[in-house]
Amino acid sequence: MANLSLSIGQIILELRKSKGSTQEELANAVGISPQAVSKWENGSTPDTELLPAIADYFNVPIDRLFGRTTHPNLSEAVNKYISEPGFFKGVDRALNIYAALHWGLAHSNVGEFYDHFITNDNVADHKWSEEGYSLMTSNGYCNLVTRKFWESINLDTASFARELFTLLAEPGMLEVLFAILRRKHDGPANFEMIKTALANADCSDEKIQECLDKLVKREIIISEDSPYDEIGKIYGFYPERGSGGHWYLGICALICAVQVLKMSMANRNFDGLGAWPIKL
């Protein structure tokens, strides 16, 4: 799309005001006098050899100086497209963009796969090489991992994972965490709320309390006394206190990853092969 009704000088004036710079600042960057800039903005045209420097100063393609907006900054365009509906209202748009990234990494045309893929339930598609790894599911999970991230994984990671997995593998532990996670936006929960949420799970009162005590001791969740005696202790993640926010995000990511692994075992679709630089 082009706006040919504006002269180059008028577009320079528009870009300069948008950037918040003065005629003198533009003149110094390009290597001409402020008077020359003033003449451009009042009807004259810059010399052709100056156009690349002017475009660089405003961080736009040269076409923009001629009123053409066919090639906007891609990152800004994507950001505007996704954020336009409102806070986290553009999830479907984001999934469409990620689909283009996911299949683009494997040099595939997203149009050939996405419509069929997105209409299937619980299907996971993996793309990888030694440069990175991409995973997308038909029900809304996306994950892109670069080689640089893999290079940060070492034996300390294994030690941390072993401690965490041992704790989470205890009977009732994940069920209790699920019950608390489900209430994240409703605030903390007391014992009776957690017990009610686990009515269909095989968890005794003693096991629920044991799990809560261990999660508190490990500082994965926080407990405190309610101001009301009939409520008793309340439990939850507190992002603003200690490591609670990190645990909340980490546990959510881990649970999602486990669900994706479960889906992948039932619906295998792997493209590529990579060897990862884990430090041993």
CATH code: domain of residue 170: 1.10.10.10
Domain count of the fold of the chain: 3
Q: Are residues 141 and 187 in the same domain?
A: no
Range of the domain at 101: 78-150
pLDDT of residue 2: 45
pLDDT of residue 1: 44
Q: Are residues 126 and 159 in the same domain?
A: no
pLDDT of residue 252: 80
pLDDT of residue 240: 55
User: Residue 70 falls within a domain, yes or no?
Assistant: no
Q: Are residues 172 and 142 in the same domain?
A: no
User: Of the candidates 183, 184, 180, which has an alpha carbon nearest to the alpha carbon of residue 216?
Assistant: 180
Q: Are residues 140 and 164 in the same domain?
A: no
User: Residue 280 falls within a domain, yes or no?
Assistant: no
User: Residue 232 falls within a domain, yes or no?
Assistant: yes
The crossing angle, in degrees rounded to 10, of helices 205-217 and 173-181 is: 80
Q: Are residues 41 and 88 in the same domain?
A: no
User: Residue 45 falls within a domain, yes or no?
Assistant: yes
Q: Are residues 169 and 144 in the same domain?
A: no
User: Residue 88 falls within a domain, yes or no?
Assistant: yes
pLDDT of residue 111: 59
| Structural domain ending residue among the three candidates 115, 150, 185 | 150
pLDDT values of the chain reduced to their tens digit, one per residue, 280 residues = 445 567 888 899 989 888 888 999 999 999 999 999 999 999 888 988 899 999 889 888 888 888 876 555 678 888 888 888 888 888 888 988 888 888 888 766 665 566 667 777 778 888 888 888 898 888 888 999 999 998 999 999 999 889 889 998 999 999 998 888 877 556 778 899 999 989 888 889 999 999 999 999 888 888 888 888 888 888 887 655 555 456 777 888 888 888 888 877 765 555 555 555 656 5
Specify the DSSP element, H or E, that contains 207.
Answer: helix 205-217
Q: Are residues 134 and 97 in the same domain?
A: yes
The owner of tokens 């629920």 is: 208
pTM: 0.61
3-state SS string for 31-99 = CCCHHHHHHHHCCCCCCHHHHHHHHHHHCCCHHHHCCECCCCCHHHHHHHHHHCCCCCCCHHHHHHHHH
Cα–Cα distance for residue pair 129/182, rounded to 1 Å: 36
CATH number of domain containing 43: 1.10.260.40
Q: Are residues 162 and 259 in the same domain?
A: yes
| Structural domain ending residue among the three candidates 65, 97, 112 | 65
Q: Are residues 119 and 199 in the same domain?
A: no
Task: List all residues 6 or more positions away from 92 whose beta carbon is below 8 Å from its beta carbon.
Answer: none
Going by DSSP bridges, is the β-strand pair 189-190/222-225 parallel, antiparallel, or unpaired?
unpaired
